[in-house]
Amino acid sequence: MPNCAFYNCFHSRRYKDVSLFQIPVPRSSDSEFTSQRKQEARKGWIGAILHTIQLDADLKKQIENNSIYICEIHFKDEYIERFAKRKSLETGSIPTENLPKKSLDNIGASSNADTSRKEPAERHVTEQVVYSSLANLDSYLKKAGGYPYFSGWGWHRVSNTTVIEFKESGFLIAKFSVLVDNSLKYTVLVYGWALPDDHCIYTLDGRSMQYCSIKTLCGKII
Examine the pLDDT at 61 and tell me if it is beyond 80: yes
| Contact present, 167 and 152 (Cβ < 8 Å) | yes
Examine the pLDDT at 206 and tell me if it is beyond 90: no
Beta bridge partners of 20: 71
pLDDT band at 12 (very low <50, low <70, confident <90, very high): confident
| Contact present, 40 and 107 (Cβ < 8 Å) | no
pTM strictly above 0.85: no
Instruction: Annotate 159-170 with b (16+ C-beta within 10 A) or e (fewer).
Output: eeebebbbeeee
pLDDT tens digits, residue range 102-156?
Answer: 544 444 444 444 444 444 444 444 457 899 999 999 999 999 988 999 999 999 9
pLDDT of res. 219: 87
Q: Which residues does 152 contact at the CB level (< 8 Å), separation at least 6?
A: 166, 167, 168
pLDDT of res. 186: 95
Query: What percent of the chain shows pLDDT beyond 90?
Result: 48
Sheet holding 153-158, edge to edge: 153-158, 161-166, 176-180, 186-190, 193-194
Q: Please tell me which residue, 194 or 187, carries the higher pLDDT value.
A: 187
| Contact present, 52 and 104 (Cβ < 8 Å) | no
